[in-house]
A and B are shown apart, each in its own frame.
Chain A
Amino acid sequence: TQLLEQSPQFLSIQEGENLTVYCNSSSVFSSLQWYRQEPGEGPVLLVTVVTGGEVKKLKRLTFQFGDARKDSSLHITAAQPGDTGLYPCLGNAGNMLTFGGGTRLMVKP
C-alpha cells in the first residue's frame, strides 16, 4: 500500500497571505491529482500533474510535481476566504489510487 503524507494537516492564515502545502511519498506515481473539498461536498479536481518537474498554474494556485514523481506541492498566492477547504492529493500508481489525508485550510478575512 502506497502512503501519501500531506503537511501541514491544518493551516489557519489571514486573507492575503501566501502558503504552500505538501504531498510526499516514498512511492513513484505515474500521475498525481490535487483536489479541493468544501464541507458537505465531494472533492473537486483542480489539476493533474504527470511529468517529473512539471509546474502548472491555475490562477493564484501553482502546482509542482517533484522530479522523481514522489512528491508534489501546492502554492496559493494571496489566499482568500473562498480558498477555505480540504486539499487532498491523490497519487496514481498502477491499479491503486492513494489519497493523502489532506490539508485543512482556513483563510480568515
Chain B
Amino acid sequence: DVKVTQSSRYLVKRTGEKVFLECVQDMDHENMFWYRQDPGLGLRLIYFSYDVKMKEKGDIPEGYSVSREKKERFSLILESASTNQTSMYLCASSPPEQGDTEAFFGQGTRLTVV
C-alpha cells in the first residue's frame, strides 16, 4: 500500500517559532510537493522538488523554505511562524512520468500559530 506520511496531524506553535513539517514517502517518487489548504481556496503550492537537493518555488513561497536531502523525505520549514500561516499543510508525491500519473497525499498537518 503506497504511503505518504506526515510527521504530525496537529501542531500548535507560537508566533516567531521555527517550525519543521516532515514528509516521508515510500514509493521511490522523484516529485514531492508542499501545499497549504485554506477554506474557500484551492490547494496552493508552496514549494516542490523534482530530485534530491533540488527545490523550486511554487505560488506562495514567502515565509517558507524546504529541504530535500534524501529522495524519500521533503521537509517544509517556517522560518518564523506567523498567525497567517495557520492552515492545513499537505505533502504529496508523484512519479516523474506525465500522463495520468496521480499525486499521492499525506494525511495533512493542521498547524495553528498563536
Please determine whether chains A and B interact with each other in the same assembly: no
Write the residues of chain B forming the contact surface with A, with a CB cutoff of 8 angstroms.
Answer: none
